[in-house]
Amino acid sequence: MEQFDVFLAHNSKDKPQVRAIAQELTRYNLKPWFDEEQIFPGDNIHQVRSL
């Protein structure tokens, strides 16, 4: 199971800002859990193992 440093919970209307935050965290060698990078179309959200 992959480990993450930060869980980014957000409202979908805030997605662009949260995407920028995730990118900035990555620049500082932190591993954010960001839904669009961990959950893909067709995935069962209840079976996502990365969290």
Residue-wise pLDDT tens digits, 2-48: 799 999 999 999 999 999 999 999 999 999 999 888 888 888 878 76
Q: What is the reported pTM?
A: 0.75
What pLDDT shows up at residue 22? 96
Q: How big, in percent rounded to 5, are the helix, strand and coil portions of the chain?
A: 45, 10, 45
**CA distances from residue 20 to 10, 33, 46 in whole angstroms, order as listed:** 13, 13, 26
Phi, psi dihedrals of residue 32, rounded to the nearest 5°: -80, 145
Residue 1 reports pLDDT greater than 70: no
